[in-house]
Amino acid sequence: MNGSSMALQPKAAIGRRRPGGRDPAGGWADIAGAGYGGARRVSVWHRHETAAVPRMRDNRRMLQVQHYAAARVEQFSDGVIGIAITLLVLEIAVPVATNGVGLMDELRTEWPSFLAYVISFLTIGGFWLAHHTIFSCLRAVSPATMKVNLLLLMFIAFLPFPTAVMAASQIGTDGGSRVAVVFYGLTLLTCRLLLSVLWWQCRRDRLLREEVEPAEVRRLTRRLNPGAAAYVVAIGIGAAYPPAGPWLFLVIAVSTILLARTIDFYEPDEEGVQTG
Domain boundaries, the chain: 3-48, 62-275
DSSP letter for 38, please: G
Residue 261 pLDDT grade (very low, low, confident, very high; cuts 50, 70, 90): low
Instruction: Give pLDDT tens digits for 231-252.
Output: 999 999 999 999 999 999 999 9
CB-CB contact of 62 with 134 (8 Å): no
* Most confident of the ranges 42-51, 65-74, 211-220, 259-268: 211-220
**Residue closest to 6 by CA, chosen among 44, 51, 47, 50:** 44
What is the mean predicted confidence (pLDDT) over 127-143? Answer: 90
DSSP letter for 269, please: -
Query: pTM of the prediction?
Result: 0.70
The pLDDT score that the predictor gives to residue 65 is 41
- The hierarchical CATH code for the domain 62-275 is 1.20.1410
Instruction: Give pLDDT tens digits for 48-79.
Output: 444 444 555 544 544 444 444 788 899 999 99
The pLDDT score that the predictor gives to residue 66 is 46
The pLDDT score that the predictor gives to residue 101 is 73
The pLDDT score that the predictor gives to residue 70 is 82
Rounded Cα–Cα distance for residues 260 and 197 (Å): 18
